[in-house]
Structure 1
Amino acid sequence: VKQERYWQLESRPHTDDLDTTTARVRELVVDSIQRQLVADVPVATLLSGGLDSSVITAVAADYFKKEGRGTLHSYSIDYVDNDKHFKASAFQPNEDAPYVQLVSKFLCTAHHTIEFDTAELIDALKTATLARDLPGMADVDASLYLFCREIKKETTVVLSGECADEVFGGYPWFHREELLTAGTFPWSRAVKERASWLAPELRAWVKPEEYVAMRYAESLDEVPHLPGEDPLEARRREMFYLNITWFMNTLLDRKDRMSMAASLEARVPFCDHRIVEYVWNIPWEMKTYGNREKGILRKAMEGILPDEVLYRKKSPYPKTHNPSYTEAVRTWLLDTLNDPSSPLLRLVDVPVIRKIAESDAQASSIPFFGQLMSTPQLFAYLGQLDYWLREYKVTIKA
Structure 2
Amino acid sequence: MCGIVGWVNFEQDLSNHTENIKKMTATLIHRGPDAGEVHCTEHALLGHRRLSIIDLGGGGQPMTKQGFTIVYNGELYNTATVRDLLIQKGHQFSTTSDTEVILTAFIQWRELCVNYFNGIFAFGIWDDEKQSLFLGRDHLGIKPLFYKQLPDGIIFSSEIKAILSHPSVKAQIDYRGLAALLSLGPSRTPGDGIFKDIVELKPGHAMNVTKSVSKSWRYWDVQSKAHSHSLPDTIEQVRCLVTDAIERQLVSDVPLCTMLSGGLDSSIITAIAAKKYALSNQTLSTFSVNYEGNDQHFKGNAFQVSQDGYWIEKMQQAFQTKHQEIVFTQNQLVQSLKDVLYMKDMPSMADIDGSLYLFCKEIGRDFTVALSGECADEVFGGYPWFHQQEEQQHFPWLRSTKERQQLLTPLWQDRLKLAEYMQNSYEQSVKEMPHFVGNAIEVKRQRLFYLNNVYFMQTLIERSDRMSMGASIEVRVPFADYTVMEYVWNIPWEMKTAGGMEKGILRRAFEDILPKDVIYRKKNPYPKTYHPAYTTGVQQELRTILSQKKSVLHELFDQEKLQQLLESGGKSFTVPWFGQLMAGPQLIAYLIQLHHWFDHYQIEILPS
- Aligned residue in 2 for 1:208: 418
- Aligned residue in 2 for 1:238: 447
CA–CA distance in structure 2, aligned partners of residues 363 and 342 of structure 1: 22
- Aligned residue in 2 for 1:42: 255
What is the DSSP-based 3-state SS (H/G/I as helix, E as strand, rest coil) of the residue aligned with 2:288?
strand
Contact 1:169/1:294, CA 8 A, preserved across alignment: yes
- Aligned residue in 1 for 2:398: 188
Residue 149 (structure 1) aligned with residue 361 (structure 2): yes
Contact 1:78/1:318, CA 8 A, preserved across alignment: yes
CA–CA distance in structure 2, aligned partners of residues 97 and 202 of structure 1: 45
What is the DSSP-based 3-state SS (H/G/I as helix, E as strand, rest coil) of the residue aligned with 1:196?
helix
Which runs of structure 2 are paired with 1:1-398 in the superposition (5 Å)? 1-66=214-279, 68=280, 70-178=282-390, 181-227=391-437, 229-359=438-568, 361=570, 365-396=574-605
Q: What is the identity, as a one-letter code, of the residue corresponding to 1:326?
A: T
Contact 1:48/1:76, CA 8 A, preserved across alignment: yes
The answer to which structure has the higher strand fraction is 2
What is the DSSP-based 3-state SS (H/G/I as helix, E as strand, rest coil) of the residue aligned with 2:325?
strand
Q: Shift of the alpha carbon at 1:359?
A: 2.1
CA–CA distance in structure 2, aligned partners of residues 9 and 293 of structure 1: 22
What is the DSSP-based 3-state SS (H/G/I as helix, E as strand, rest coil) of the residue aligned with 1:153?
coil
Q: Shift of the alpha carbon at 1:339?
A: 1.8
Q: What is the identity, as a one-letter code, of the residue corresponding to 1:134?
A: M
CA–CA distance in structure 2, aligned partners of residues 363 and 305 of structure 1: 42
What is the DSSP-based 3-state SS (H/G/I as helix, E as strand, rest coil) of the residue aligned with 1:187?
coil
In the TM superposition, what whole-angstrom CA distance separates every residue of 1:249-288 from its partner, at most 9, and x where no partner exists?
0000000000000001000000010000000000000000
Q: Shift of the alpha carbon at 1:205?
A: 1.2
Contact 2:570/2:583, CA 8 A, preserved across alignment: no
- Structure 1 length normalisation: TM-score? 0.97
Q: Shift of the alpha carbon at 1:363?
A: 8.6
Contact 2:386/2:445, CA 8 A, preserved across alignment: yes
Q: Shift of the alpha carbon at 1:335?
A: 2.2
CA–CA distance in structure 1, aligned partners of residues 284 and 574 of structure 2: 39
CA–CA distance in structure 2, aligned partners of residues 248 and 361 of structure 1: 26
Higher relative contact order (CA 8 A, sep 6+): 1
Q: What is the identity, as a one-letter code, of the residue corresponding to 1:119?
A: N
In the TM superposition, what whole-angstrom CA distance separates every residue of 1:80-129 from its partner, at most 9, and x where no partner exists?
01010111100001111111111111110000100000111111110010
Contact 1:52/1:161, CA 8 A, preserved across alignment: yes
CA–CA distance in structure 2, aligned partners of residues 292 and 76 of structure 1: 25
Q: Shift of the alpha carbon at 1:372?
A: 1.1
Q: Shift of the alpha carbon at 1:296?
A: 0.2
CA–CA distance in structure 2, aligned partners of residues 286 and 384 of structure 1: 42
Look at both structures and tell me which one has the larger radius of gyration over its CA atoms: 2
CA–CA distance in structure 1, aligned partners of residues 568 and 528 of structure 2: 22
In the TM superposition, what whole-angstrom CA distance separates every residue of 1:224-264 from its partner, at most 9, and x where no partner exists?
2334x111111000000000110000000000000000001
In the TM superposition, what whole-angstrom CA distance separates every residue of 1:310-330 from its partner, at most 9, and x where no partner exists?
110000000111011011112
CA–CA distance in structure 2, aligned partners of residues 344 and 361 of structure 1: 15
Contact 1:170/1:294, CA 8 A, preserved across alignment: yes
Contact 1:195/1:208, CA 8 A, preserved across alignment: yes
Q: What is the identity, as a one-letter code, of the residue corresponding to 1:218?
A: Q
CA–CA distance in structure 2, aligned partners of residues 188 and 323 of structure 1: 25
CA–CA distance in structure 1, aligned partners of residues 329 and 593 of structure 2: 19
Contact 2:303/2:580, CA 8 A, preserved across alignment: yes
CA-atom RMSD, angstroms? Answer: 1.3
**Number of positions where the alignment pairs a residue of Structure 1 with one of Structure 2:** 394
Q: What is the identity, as a one-letter code, of the residue corresponding to 2:302?
A: A
CA–CA distance in structure 1, aligned partners of residues 399 and 389 of structure 2: 14
Contact 2:287/2:323, CA 8 A, preserved across alignment: yes
Gap regions ≥5 residues in structure 1: none
What is the DSSP-based 3-state SS (H/G/I as helix, E as strand, rest coil) of the residue aligned with 2:216?
coil
Q: What is the identity, as a one-letter code, of the residue corresponding to 1:28?
A: L
Contact 1:182/1:189, CA 8 A, preserved across alignment: no
What is the DSSP-based 3-state SS (H/G/I as helix, E as strand, rest coil) of the residue aligned with 2:397?
helix
Q: What is the identity, as a one-letter code, of the residue corresponding to 1:203?
A: Q
What is the DSSP-based 3-state SS (H/G/I as helix, E as strand, rest coil) of the residue aligned with 2:404?
helix
CA–CA distance in structure 2, aligned partners of residues 328 and 39 of structure 1: 40
Q: Shift of the alpha carbon at 1:395?
A: 2.4
CA–CA distance in structure 2, aligned partners of residues 332 and 124 of structure 1: 12
Contact 1:357/1:379, CA 8 A, preserved across alignment: yes
Q: What is the identity, as a one-letter code, of the residue corresponding to 2:339?
A: T
Q: Shift of the alpha carbon at 1:150?
A: 0.4
Change (3 A) 1:100 1:219: same
More displaced, 325-334 or 379-388?
325-334
Q: What is the identity, as a one-letter code, of the residue corresponding to 1:217?
A: E
CA–CA distance in structure 2, aligned partners of residues 61 and 363 of structure 1: 46
Q: Shift of the alpha carbon at 1:362?
A: 5.9
The answer to which structure has the higher helix fraction is 1
Contact 1:337/1:350, CA 8 A, preserved across alignment: no
CA–CA distance in structure 2, aligned partners of residues 300 and 325 of structure 1: 40
- Structure 2 length normalisation: TM-score? 0.64
Contact 1:225/1:237, CA 8 A, preserved across alignment: no
Q: What is the identity, as a one-letter code, of the residue corresponding to 1:50?
A: G
CA–CA distance in structure 1, aligned partners of residues 556 and 436 of structure 2: 43
Q: Shift of the alpha carbon at 1:309?
A: 0.2
CA–CA distance in structure 2, aligned partners of residues 131 and 12 of structure 1: 40
CA–CA distance in structure 1, aligned partners of residues 552 and 436 of structure 2: 48
In the TM superposition, what whole-angstrom CA distance separates every residue of 1:198-245 from its partner, at most 9, and x where no partner exists?
222222111110111011011111222334x11111100000000011
Q: Shift of the alpha carbon at 1:365?
A: 4.9
Change (3 A) 1:196 1:363: closer
Identity of aligned residues (%): 49
Contact 1:225/1:234, CA 8 A, preserved across alignment: no
Q: Shift of the alpha carbon at 1:142?
A: 0.5
Q: What is the identity, as a one-letter code, of the residue corresponding to 2:540?
A: T
CA–CA distance in structure 2, aligned partners of residues 218 and 360 of structure 1: 36
